[in-house]
Amino acid sequence: ELVYLALPSVEYSHERVQERILAGGHSIPPADIERRFSKSLRNLLGEFSEGVDRARCFINDSETLSLIFTQTIEGRQIANDGYYAHLVTQSEL
């Protein structure tokens, strides 16, 4: 099973890296964060979620995770149309 915790934007990714740095973690160059953000979503929506028996994607923008979609061999079931459409847009598909 693949469980993917999605961030709503590349700006959130930058903020998370800054939080990690302040906590003593390592840095990631901003250009790498931006390049990896949409690539990760493209991989999720394409081959990664199709290559496992079950994939679940949650939005991770608050203290509570919200399910965006579940994918099984029967297909993809969208739980949150708005966030799903947003992720597709962010993936630059």
User: How would you list the strands of the sheet with 2-6, edge to edge?
Assistant: 2-6, 54-59, 66-72, 75-78
User: Would you list the domain boundaries of the chain?
Assistant: 2-90
DSSP letter assigned to residue 46 = I
pLDDT of res. 27:
95
CB atoms within 10 A of CB 80: 16
Structure tokens at 45: 């929506």
Q: Mean of the pLDDT values across residues 11-24?
A: 95
Q: What angle do CA 14, 23, 66 make, to 5 degrees?
A: 55
pLDDT digits (tens, 9 = 90+) for 56-83: 999 998 889 999 999 999 999 999 999 9
90, pLDDT greater than 90: yes
88, pLDDT greater than 90: yes
Asked if 8 contacts 86 with a C-beta cutoff of 8 angstroms, the reply is: yes
The interaxial angle of helices 30-43 and 81-90, nearest 10 deg, is: 120
